[in-house]
Amino acid sequence: MARMVRKQIVIEAHQECALSQRAATLGVSQSELVREAIDALLSGAAPRSRRERAWDELLSGVDEARAAGVGSGGRRFGREELHER
């Protein structure tokens, strides 16, 4: 892991509240969100969380599986068929 440097910043109360809620929702620290936002700002990209990136990777995997023919083969199942024993 890269060497971390401690910085103290001042933000508005509504920003702190929103940051806290977003961090809790995503399961990451507030510092992680701030670092991601700084990286996004410096790269010119929109900030994306690790979970958003993971979701995109999951969807990509689903697309690859579909292209490889993995899945139901396009069949549709009715409720009765699914609950037959």
CA distance 9 to 37: 14
CA distance 48 to 33: 9
pTM above 0.75, yes or no: no
Q: What is the structure's pLDDT at 79? A: 77
Q: What is the structure's pLDDT at 49? A: 75
Confidence of residue 1 (pLDDT cuts 50, 70, 90): low
Domain ranges within the chain, ordered by starting residue: 13-70
Would you state the structure tokens that stand for residue 14, as one six-digit string? Answer: 């509504």
Q: What is the structure's pLDDT at 46? A: 67
Report CA 45 to chain centroid distance, whole Å: 15
